Chains A and B, each alone.
Chain A
Amino acid sequence: MLTVDAKLERFRAGSPPFRLDISIAVPPGITILFGPSGAGKSTVLDCIAGLARPDAGRIAAGGEVLFDSKAHVNGPPQTRGVAYVFQTLALFPHMNAAENVSYGLDRLPDQERTARVEEILGAFRVDKLRTRKPSEISGGERQRIALARSLVTQPRVLLLDEPLTGLQAELKAAIIEDLRAWNAARRIPILYVTHTREEVDALGERVIAMDHGRVVSEGTPIEVLEAPRRKWLAQAAGFENLLSGTVVDLREADGVMRVRLDDSRCEIEVPLGYAAVGHRVRVAIRAGDILLATSAPQGLSARNVIEGQIVAMETRGTLVRARVNCGVEFIVHLTPGATRTLELAGGRQVWLVLKTHSCHLVEQ
C-alpha cells in the first residue's frame, strides 16, 4: 500500500501559484491518476519518487516512511525503492538495452545481475534486443525496456507517467498485459498517470481524478467517468452536450430540479444537485443517450421531451451525428438504419427525449 499526503505550493512568474493538496491511498495493482495537463499529476509522482519535496505531508510505501515533514524524514530518490518510468522514458542513449536494464543493479554480484536482467528481458519480450541501443529500436520496444529497467530493481512502488503515449491500442494492451502478468505475483502498487479516456478504459481497476492540484473524484472508471463533476472530466469522458443553464425550481421530494437552458425557453429536469434556485449550473448529456422521435411522443416515463428541428446530419462511419436546434443546439447520435427508417433529414421537425438520469450536473 502506498499512502500519499502532500501539500506543496509553487510560485510561478506571471501566473497564479500552483497548489497541490492531496491525500490518496494506492492499493496493490494498477491505479490510474487521471486529469488534464497541469492538474499536478506529475508533481505527485515526483513527490513520491523524491524528485520534488512537498512543503508538508507524509509519504509511505510498503510500511516504510519515505517522507514525513513532521519527523524530518526525506529519503533521497536513490534509497526510496520507487521505480519511475518517465513520459520520455529517459533511456540512457549511450548504453544498450541490457546495460540500461542492469543500471540499477550495480550492487549485485555479476552472475546474479545477469540472471535478473535476462529474466526480465524475457518477461517483457525484449530479450533479442539486449545489444541494441535505444536509438536502434522501435517505440514500443523502448517502452518495454524502460519498464524492465524500472522493475528489475524490485521496487516497492511503480510510477508510470504516460509511458505508453503514442502507441497503438493493441501494442498498448499487449504491454499492459505483460505488466499485469509481472505484477500478479508481486502485487506492488502501480500509479499510472494518463489524461486520455481510452487508457482509463483499457487499464481501469481504480481511478483517481485530479484537477488543480486536488483529487476531484475517486472510484472505478464507471463511477468517476459516468457522473463527471467537472467540465474537463465531462469532456474527457465523451459528453458531447455541455449546456449552461439556471436552476428555476427544486423538487426535493422527487429528487429532481428544473434547469432553464441559456438563450432558450427550454427547461429540462435533472437529478437534484448541490444548487439553489437561481444558481448557474452546467449539464452534461451524452449524444448517444438522447432519443429522437418524429412525432410528439406520449406515455413516456422520460420527463424531458423537447421539440426542435434538425439543422444538419453528418454520417461518420456507422454513426450519424444530428444537430438539432431546440433553442439551444443538441448533438444526437443515431444509427444509419434509424436515420433511413425515420427518413430524417435537415429541416425535419423532431422531438428529443432525455431521461432525467442521463443529465449530469457538472461543476463550472
Chain B
Amino acid sequence: MNMDALLLSLRLALCVSVILLAGGLPLAYSLAYSNWRGKFLLEAVVALPLVLPPTVLGFYVLLAMGPRGPLGKLWQMFFGHGLAFTFEGLVLASVLYSLPFAVQPLIASFESVDRKLLDASSVLGAGRLRTFWRVILPLSVPGVVTALVLSFAHTMGEFGVVLMVGGNLAGVTRTVSIDIYDHVQSLEYAEANRMAFVLLAFSFAVLSVVYGVNRQVGRQIGRRLWTAWTAK
C-alpha cells in the first residue's frame, strides 16, 4: 500500500480545512450580515465550485499558476520557483474547490443566530469583533464543525482538480485518489482495492465521529435556544 499517497492526502486535507476555516469565517460573516449591493456576485462566486466540473476549475487555476499566469509570476517573485505541480499549488487549488463546503454551513449557522442577541451585545458596549467571538461563534459551533468536516472530506476525495493542477508526482502531488487511478490504469486491482477500501473506511469513520459529536453539540444548543424562545 502506498503510505506516501495516504499521508499526502491527509496533509493536504488538513492544510485546506485550516485555511478554509480561517478565511471562511470572515467571508461567511460578511455574506451573512452585510447587505451591500453587489453581494449576490460574491455569493455566486463562492458557490461556483459546486456546479463547475473540476476540470474546468482546474484548467483555469492551472493557467493562473503557470509561469505566465498572474499567480505563477507572483509566486516566482517571492519564492523563486513556480506554483504549478507543487504541493502549495495543490493546496491553493483545493482551497478554491472546497470553498462552498466551508462557507455555506458557516453562513447558515451565522444567520440562525438571533439578531436580538447581536443588538443586545452592541448595546452592552461590545464592538463587532467582540460580538463575533463571544456570541456568534460559540452559538455557531455546529456550523464550524460541519464546515471543517466537509472541507476535509471533500479535499480527501478530490480528483479532477488535483490531476489538472498537481499532475502525478510521487510524494508531492500524488494523492490517494490519483494513486488509485494509477493502479486501475495498470490493472493492479488488488492494490487499487486496498487503497480504495482504506479511503472508504477512513472517510466513513471520520464522518460518523464528527456528525455524532456535532449532533450532540447541535442538540444542546438547539435545546437552549428553544427553551429561551418558548419561555418568553
Q: Is the interface of B mostly helix, strand, loop or mixed?
A: helix
Question: Is A278 engaged at the interface, CB distance under 8 Å to the other chain?
Answer: no
Alpha-carbon distance A133/B126, docked complex (angstroms): 21
What B residues does A128 contact at CB under 8 A?
Answer: none
What A residues does B51 contact at CB under 8 A?
Answer: none
Structural contact, A76 and B122, CB atoms closer than 8 A: yes
What B residues does A51 contact at CB under 8 A?
Answer: 119, 122-123
Most central of B116, B127, B221, B223 by chain A CB within 10 Å: B116
Contacts between the two chains (Cβ within 8 Å), count: 86
Task: List the A residue with the shortest CB-CB distance to B114.
Answer: A90
Binds B, one of A57-65, A91-99, A171-179, A239-247: A91-99
What B residues does A50 contact at CB under 8 A?
Answer: 122-123
Known contacts A91-B228, A93-B228: A104-B116 contact under CB 8 Å: no
Structural contact, B119 and A103, CB atoms closer than 8 A: no
Alpha-carbon distance A165/B120, docked complex (angstroms): 18
What B residues does A88 contact at CB under 8 A?
Answer: 114, 116, 228-229, 232
Structural contact, B126 and A103, CB atoms closer than 8 A: yes
Alpha-carbon distance A142/B130, docked complex (angstroms): 23
Alpha-carbon distance A83/B119, docked complex (angstroms): 11
Task: List the A residue with the shortest CB-CB distance to B115.
Answer: A90
Known contacts A92-B135, A94-B138, A153-B125: A84-B221 contact under CB 8 Å: no
Structural contact, A134 and B224, CB atoms closer than 8 A: yes
Q: Is the interface of A mostly helix, strand, loop or mixed?
A: loop
What A residues does B130 contact at CB under 8 A?
Answer: 106
Task: List the B residue with the shortest CB-CB distance to A81.
Answer: B125
What B residues does A90 contact at CB under 8 A?
Answer: 114, 116-117, 119-120
Task: List the B residue with the shortest CB-CB distance to A103.
Answer: B124
What B residues does A94 contact at CB under 8 A?
Answer: 138-139, 221, 224
What B residues does A78 contact at CB under 8 A?
Answer: 122-127
Nearest CB in chain B: distance from A190 CB, A: 15
Interface residues of B in 98-151 (CB under 8 A from A): 114, 116-117, 119-127, 130, 134-135, 138-139
Q: For the complex, count residues of B whose C-beta is within 8 A of A.
A: 26
Question: Is B18 engaged at the interface, CB distance under 8 Å to the other chain?
Answer: no
Structural contact, B119 and A104, CB atoms closer than 8 A: no
Question: Is A82 engaged at the interface, CB distance under 8 Å to the other chain?
Answer: yes
Task: List the A residue with the shortest CB-CB distance to B223.
Answer: A135
Q: Mark A158-170, 1 if CB is under 8 A from B, else 0.
A: 0000000010000
Alpha-carbon distance A83/B122, docked complex (angstroms): 10
- Which positions in A face B, CB cutoff 8 Å? 49-51, 76-80, 82-84, 86-94, 103-104, 106-107, 133-135, 139, 142, 149-150, 153, 166
Can you list 27 A-B contacts (CB < 8 A)?
A: A78-B122, A78-B123, A78-B124, A84-B120, A88-B228, A88-B229, A89-B228, A89-B232, A91-B120, A91-B228, A92-B117, A92-B120, A92-B135, A93-B221, A93-B225, A94-B138, A104-B125, A104-B126, A106-B125, A106-B126, A107-B125, A135-B228, A139-B231, A149-B124, A150-B123, A150-B124, A153-B125
